[in-house]
Chain A
């Protein structure tokens, strides 16, 4: 009887250890298999050419990823520029000013915003943002725009990353010891001065980490962006041009790629590219955030 219990305990322990190792390995396996799938195209073409050429003619064998890489960056940066002020202001408000009731009311708002599926954001974008840009905003700047633009992608993405930014920034603000803000308030500083001189100054690295994390989320977002940004393989010259980010490229072409090995490899190359960027960005910002969390723990 005693032995049986011990054996059971041991079996379970090894089973768990196996799962733990599997979880760490999964990351490596994903990276490696995407790499090997992308290898044929990297062998066939110069890596530098792949990244900097703007020619995208898969059926002629030209695979230049520059339009897609630039599109991804443009859309994501617009999203960050829009989302950052809203997120910082709202999280400061929730952290330092709002009453308990307001905070309790806002938690599900943030939850819901992060829970709404990308495809719903896409539907919302096509129904509201796209016509708004085509009819109201773009005519003021350019002659004609369909509305399916870099700007539309940026706006939709901005709304999608706001909940992530807010929840991480709130955590960062919370890690600042209350004694510090209390000391500032006791010296006669107003709340806003305390926010400016204590909270924000203490949180610079955290805010940067949150931004990088949100940026990497924006890079990989597929469906919502795909539905509103036009999907034309060109280098966008203004925010009223259509664009074609990397994830949209993968999503749109999966069906036809099977017929051409180099095309399939090219698409896997873009998945690999996304993987590398996201892992790098995520790793850096998670590391920073973990450090911040530990900073005031004694």
Chain B
């Protein structure tokens, strides 16, 4: 009897796992099936002709470049803040201090805040500062979104680091700052993983840039011009009544999915590299 129950539940569990895997395959094939006929070289090399909403010509270069600009800018900001913070929690504060658990706790909560709330906050901030929807606004808001992601995953990896090397460095008379410069080199693959995860999240998020970056047919030439982004190019062009424009949206969906696939697998690659270094 108990062995029968065992078998039944094992089958159910395997089915659940297979269904979850199946859904992933289903999502990716749906996107490719619908988007592949629309995908062409023009998509990634041309700006939309005659307006992104109604124009039938051209591609989504504006969105690709816009997303790239935004992600590079926000990445620069969040690396500049995340790396010192993680180093501070792990090597400056005592191992079980209240301050460090408070920081980690607020990171957990910041991580859980929905992107639409970041978007609304970013928008309120921009009104306060008198900035219109622009590349700058997008960069700042996406930076807020990806900072907690980067900090948390970099912190997790840093925590695994054995304390032998830091101790050896300190006993040789290095100051903590000098020690950190050495340790960062060892943590590099971990930092790359954290960055890739953050980029994946930041590049695909639409709700943060919806208010803050705006949308445009052109490539932004300065920080205070609006910038198009890939997720919004899918969202807006899908709502168009023109079939060619909708096809552009499906093509953008493929481009975004491929970017995410590449990012996800390279994060995994660097992550595994790091676990080799650990031993």
In the complex, which of the residues A27, A112, A118, A124 contacts B205, with contact meaning CB atoms closer than 8 Å?
A: A118
Are A6 and B175 within 8 A (Cβ)? yes
Closest chain B CB from A69 CB (angstroms): 15
| B176-218, CB < 8 A from A | 176-178, 180, 200-201, 203-207, 210-211
Inter-chain contact B24/A115, CB cutoff 8 Å: no
Distance to closest chain B CB from A104 (angstroms): 10
The A interface is mostly helix, strand or loop, or mixed, namely helix
CA–CA, A118 and B109, complex, Å: 20
Tell me the minimal C-beta distance from B145 to chain A in angstroms.
Answer: 12
Q: Cα distance A274–B5 when bound, in Å?
A: 43
Quick one: which of A115-144 are within 8 Å of B by CB? 115-124, 126-128
Cα separation A66 to B203 with both chains bound (whole Å): 33
Nearest A residue (CB) for B25: A109
Considering the chains assembled together, what is the distance between the CA atoms of A20 and B87 in angstroms? 10
Query: Of A30, A106, A223, A279, which one neighbours B121 at CB under 8 angstroms?
Result: A30
* Residue in chain A with minimal CB distance to B93: A20
Let me know if B24 and A23 touch, CB within 8 A: no
The proximity string for B residues 94-116 relative to A, scoring 1 for CB distances below 8 Å and 0 otherwise, is: 00000101110111111011111
Instruction: Please give the number of chain A residues whose Cβ is less than 8 angstroms from any Cβ of chain B in the complex.
Output: 82
Which residues does chain B contribute within 8 Å of A120, judged by CB atoms?
27, 31, 204, 234, 253, 256-257, 260
Best-buried of B13, B116, B205, B256 by chain A (most CB within 10 Å): B116
Asked if A223 and B235 make an inter-chain contact with CB atoms under 8 angstroms apart, the answer reads yes
Tally inter-chain residue pairs, CB-CB below 8 A: 246
Chain B residues, Cβ within 8 Å of A5: 175, 177-178
Which residue of chain B has the shortest Cβ distance to A289 in the bound complex? Answer: B108
User: Given the known A-B contacts A90-B17, A116-B257, are A271 and B235 also in contact in the complex, defined by CB atoms under 8 Å?
Assistant: no
Partner of B19, one of A86, A118, A123, A254: A86
A279's partner among B10, B103, B109, B123 (CB-CB below 8 A) is B109
Q: Min CB distance, A112 to chain B, in Å?
A: 5
Is B256's CB under 8 angstroms from A17's CB? no
- Main secondary structure, interface of B, reads helix
Q: Are B103 and A23 in contact (CB under 8 A)?
A: yes
Contact segment of B49-57, B68-76, B158-166, B262-270? B262-270
Looking at the assembled complex, report how far the CB atom of B54 sits from the nearest CB atom of chain A, in whole angstroms. 18
User: CB-CB < 8 A to B121: which residues of A?
Assistant: 30, 33-34, 271
In the bound assembly, the distance between CA atoms of A9 and B173 in angstroms comes to 13
User: What is the minimal beta-carbon distance from A26 to any residue of chain B, in angstroms?
Assistant: 7
Q: Say how far A8's CB is from chain B's closest CB, in angstroms.
A: 6
Contact A286 B14 (CB under 8 A): no
Q: When the two chains form their complex, are residues B16 and A90 in contact, meaning their CB atoms are under 8 A apart? A: yes
Give a binary string over B4-26; 1 marks a CB under 8 Å from any A CB, 0 the rest. Answer: 01100110111011011101101
Give residues of chain A (211-239) contacting chain B, Cβ–Cβ below 8 Å.
213, 216-217, 219-223, 227
Check B85 for interface membership: any CB of A closer than 8 A: yes
Q: Which of A20, A109, A192 contacts B5 (CB 8 A)?
A: A192
Asked whether A92 is an interface residue with its Cβ less than 8 Å from the other chain, the reply is yes
Q: How large is the interface on B (under 10, 10 to 19, 20 to 34, 35 or more residues)?
A: 35 or more
Asked if A247 and B175 make an inter-chain contact with CB atoms under 8 angstroms apart, the answer reads no
Query: Is A267 in contact with B120, judged by CB distance below 8 angstroms?
Result: yes
Contact across chains for A190 and B113 when beta carbons are under 8 A apart = no
For B180, what are the chain A residues with a Cβ–Cβ distance below 8 Å? Answer: 12
A159 contacts partner chain B, Cβ-Cβ < 8 Å: yes
**In whole Å, how far is A162's beta carbon from the nearest beta carbon of chain B?**
6
At the interface, yes or no: B231 with Cβ under 8 Å from chain A?
yes
**Does any Cβ of B come within 8 Å of A177's Cβ?**
no
Residue among A5, A119, A282 with the most chain B CB within 10 A? A119
> Which A residues are CB-close (under 8 A) to B46?
none
Contact in complex: A222, B207 (CB < 8 Å)? yes
18 extra interface residue pairs, beta carbon distance < 8 Å, beyond A93-B10, A124-B27, A274-B117: A33-B121, A33-B128, A86-B19, A90-B20, A93-B14, A97-B13, A106-B21, A115-B204, A122-B235, A123-B31, A190-B2, A213-B112, A217-B114, A223-B207, A247-B116, A271-B117, A274-B114, A286-B108
Q: In the complex, what's the smallest C-beta–C-beta distance from B129 to chain A, in angstroms?
A: 12
Pick from A16, A34, A213: contact of B124, CB below 8 A.
A34
CB neighbours of B211 from chain A (8 A): 254
Point out the residue from B2, B20, B31, B109 that lies within 8 Å of A162, measured CB to CB: B20
Q: How far is the CA of A124 from the CA of B178 in the complex (A)?
A: 50
A116 B175 Cβ-Cβ under 8 A:
no
A16 contacts which chain B residues (CB < 8 A)?
84-85, 87-88, 92
